[in-house]
Chains A and B, each alone.
Chain A
């Protein structure tokens, strides 16, 4: 089982602040995904990154895949209360395995 450690585990910030969430592993992944799970809902895919060093932007969210494809980061600019939720990274290895991270629970205070 590949272990993906996310940090921080919990994050509580004021609206308008910036934040970065990290996803680290000793394993190499063919692709890496980020999901957001809101209270009472299932995880929803935000982005998939496949190339080492790749950077993808989704409005105020910036995702980066590490050069060695072992780690990733999610940066949120000017956080809003609607960004509150559990952020999960998931790494894919081979054809049939997707491993989820330990999660970062974000609370944005109005």
Chain B
């Protein structure tokens, strides 16, 4: 239990469906992240939020739409995805957006949502 909870753990969706992934953190952190983890590729940062404001969008296609209503909750809305979008989507949080990777600003990951697009 890392303090970051993701739902659903598994999701199968068709290319025309609309679904959402949810993330909640109970750590009092101000920064939240979405990462994509697919086979044979390094973990990819998708979005960064700081105090509910998006601070980074790493050229993610618009079929992925993040939402951060408050600093404890983060959503990833999915619409008209492609089969190559099938992956493990990881939510994470840290005390602050920067400095990433520094002692005292540990990133805590959720267990992930396995997404399969058919």
A98 touches B111 (CB 8 A): no
B97 touches A96 (CB 8 A): yes
Total contacting residues, chain B, CB less than 8 A: 24
Interface size on A, as a range, is: 20 to 34
User: What's the Cα separation between A44 and B117 when bound, in Å?
Assistant: 27
User: What's the Cα separation between A9 and B25 when bound, in Å?
Assistant: 32
A4 touches B101 (CB 8 A): no
What is the 8 Å Cβ interface bit string for chain B, positions 1-35, against chain A (1 contact, 0 not)?
Answer: 01010000000000000000000000000000000
User: What's the Cα separation between A31 and B104 when bound, in Å?
Assistant: 12
Decide yes or no whether A108 CB sits under 8 A from chain B: no
With contacts A42-B4, A43-B43, A100-B42 taken as known, whether A95 is within 8 angstroms of B107 at the C-beta atoms is no
Give the chain A neighbours of B90 by CB distance below 8 A.
42-43
Give the chain B neighbours of A44 by CB distance below 8 A.
2, 109
Q: Which of A45-96 contact B (CB under 8 A)?
A: 45, 48, 50, 88, 90-92, 94-96
Decide yes or no whether B57 CB sits under 8 A from chain A: no
A95 nearest CB neighbor, chain B only: B98
The 10 lowest CB-CB distance pairs between A and B, nearest first, are A92-B101, A42-B109, A100-B43, A98-B100, A95-B98, A98-B101, A100-B42, A96-B98, A95-B99, A31-B101
Identify the B interface with A (CB < 8 A): 2, 4, 40-43, 45, 56, 90, 92, 97-103, 106-112
